C-alpha cells in the first residue's frame, strides 16, 4: 500500500508587521496536506502576539489554528524548530523540501539572506533553499524603503528568491482585513503550485 507523501514547506516568521499574513498562509498550507516546518524568530513571535493575539509558542499549534479558524479542516501538520538551532534537519541541503517562505520578512532577515550570513535557522534555511535551487519566497514588509533595503531585495532576487511584497490588491474589493490576508496567502501559495482559491481572479 503506498503512503501519500506530504509536501514539506519551511515557513519562517520574522518580526516585520503583517503577522496575519503568516497566519493565513499557515492555515491554508494545513488545509492542503502540507507538512509545515515552522521557524519563528523572537521578534516574529512578539509581533504575532501583539498584532493578532495569537501565540506561536503553544504546545499544540494545529489545535490553536483550528480554534482560530473555526470550520477549517486540516490535513497538514506543523513541526517546529528553534531559530537558534542551526543543527536542525532543515539546516542541511540533504533534508529535501519543496521550498521555503518567509512571511512576513523583516529587513534584518532580508539583509542576512542577501549577504549569505546564515546566522539563524531562518537565514540558514533560506541560504540552503537558494543553493539547492529550491523555491524561496520572501514577503518583505517595510515602508518607506531605503537604498539598502532595495539593494538587498535585488541581491536576493538575483540569487533566485521570489519577492512577494506584502501589498494586497484592492481590485478584489476586500471587505475585511481577513480578505486582504487571504489575497496575500493566495499569491504566496500560487508560487508553490497550490491553487487555494482564496480570491476571485481579476476579470474585466
Ligand atoms: C511592533 C514591531 C513592528 C515592526 N515592524 C517591522 C517591519 O514592518 N519591517 C521590518 O523590517 N522590521 C520591523 N520591526 C523591526 C524588527 O522586528 C527588528 O528589526 C528585528 O530585529 C527583526 O528580527 P528578525 O528578522 O530576526 O525577526 C518591527 C518591530 C516591532 C517591535
CATH of the domain at 107: 3.40.50.1950
Q: How far apart are CA 30 and CA 121, in angstroms?
A: 22
* Domains: count for the chain: 1
> Which residue's alpha carbon is nearest to atom 1 within ligand 1?
47
Q: Helices in the chain by DSSP H: which ranges?
A: 19-31, 42-52, 61-68, 107-114, 121-131, 147-158, 177-190
Ligand 1 neighbours (beta carbon < 6 A): 14-17, 41, 43-44, 47, 50, 106-109, 141-142
* Of 14, 18, 106, 111, best ligand 1 pocket probe by most atoms within 8 Å of the beta carbon: 106
Q: Is residue 2 part of a domain?
A: no
Q: Is residue 27 part of a domain?
A: yes
Residue span of the structural domain in which 147 resides: 7-190
Q: Is residue 204 part of a domain?
A: no
Q: Is residue 162 part of a domain?
A: yes
Q: Is residue 90 part of a domain?
A: yes
Per-residue pLDDT of the chain in tens (204 residues, 90 and over written 9): 556 678 999 999 999 999 999 999 999 999 999 999 999 999 999 999 999 999 998 889 999 999 999 999 999 999 999 999 999 999 999 999 999 999 999 999 999 999 999 999 999 999 999 999 999 999 999 999 999 999 999 999 999 999 999 999 999 899 999 999 999 999 999 999 999 989 888 888
Secondary structure element (H or E) that encloses residue 54, with its range: none
Angle (CA) 79 74 183, round 5°: 95
Partners of 7 in the beta sheet?
34
Closest atom of ligand 1 relative to the 120 alpha carbon: 26
Amino acid at each position: 500500500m503506498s503512503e501519500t507523501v506530504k509536501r514539506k514547506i519551511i515557513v519562517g516568521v520574522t518580526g516585520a508587521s503583517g503577522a496575519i499574513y503568516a497566519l493565513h498562509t499557515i492555515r491554508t498550507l494545513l488545509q492542503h496536506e502540507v507538512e509545515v516546518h515552522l521557524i519563528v524568530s523572537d521578534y516574529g513571535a512578539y509581533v504575532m502576539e501583539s498584532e493578532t493575539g495569537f501565540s506561536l509558542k503553544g504546545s499544540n499549534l494545529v489545535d490553536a489554528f483550528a480554534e482560530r479558524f473555526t470550520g477549517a479542516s486540516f490535513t497538514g501538520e506543523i513541526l517546529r524548530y528553534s531559530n537558534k538551532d542551526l543543527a536542525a534537519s532543515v539546516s542541511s541541503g540533504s533534508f529535501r523540501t519543496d521550498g521555503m517562505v518567509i512571511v512576513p520578512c523583516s529587513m534584518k532577515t532580508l539583509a542576512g539572506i542577501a549577504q549569505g550570513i546564515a546566522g539563524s535557522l531562518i537565514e540558514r534555511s533560506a541560504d540552503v533553499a537558494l543553493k539547492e535551487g529550491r523555491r524561496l519566497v520572501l514577503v518583505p514588509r517595510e515602508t518607506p524603503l531605503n537604498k539598502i533595503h532595495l539593494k538587498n531585495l535585488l541581491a536576493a532576487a538575483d540569487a533566485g528568491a521570489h519577492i512577494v511584497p506584502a501589498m494586497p490588491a484592492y481590485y478584489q474589493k476586500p471587505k475585511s482585513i481577513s480578505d486582504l490576508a487571504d489575497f496575500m496567502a493566495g499569491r504566496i501559495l500560487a508560487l508553490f503550485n497550490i491553487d487555494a482559491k482564496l480570491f476571485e481572479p481579476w476579470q474585466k
